[in-house]
């Protein structure tokens, strides 16, 4: 695997607590090197050895969904 960066749109983040939940969940995914959550845009940017399904599972476990 090589280092990549992916951007996701996450639905339902409304406060700093939401940002912390998503950040902590994604930081726990193996291979993730950097996480940046922008609440204003509703985006999640992840860098590292990204496993898309693991990122999506972590966000779902934190209680959030991705935009379709």
pLDDT in tens, 9-24: 999 999 999 999 999 9
Domains of the chain: 4-66 (3.30.70.100)
pTM value > 0.95: no
* Collapsed DSSP state (helix, strand, coil) of residue 44: strand
Contact between 46 and 55 (Cβ < 8 Å)? yes
* Collapsed DSSP state (helix, strand, coil) of residue 7: strand
Q: What are 66's strand-pairing partners?
A: 10
User: Once rounded to an integer, what is the mean pLDDT over residues 13-41?
Assistant: 96
How distant, in Å, are the alpha carbons of 25, 30, 32, 42, 57 from that of 54? 10, 8, 10, 19, 5
Per the structure block, which two tokens stand in for 36? Answer: 């940046």
């Amino acid at each position: 695997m090589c280092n990549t960066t992916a951007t996701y749109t996450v639905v339902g983040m409304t406060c700093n607590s939401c940002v912390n939940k998503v950040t902590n969940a994604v930081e726990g995914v193996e291979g993730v090197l950097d996480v940046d959550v922008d609440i204003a845009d509703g985006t999640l940017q992840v860098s590292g050895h990204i496993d898309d399904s693991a990122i999506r599972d972590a966000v779902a476990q934190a209680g959030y969904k991705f935009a379709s």
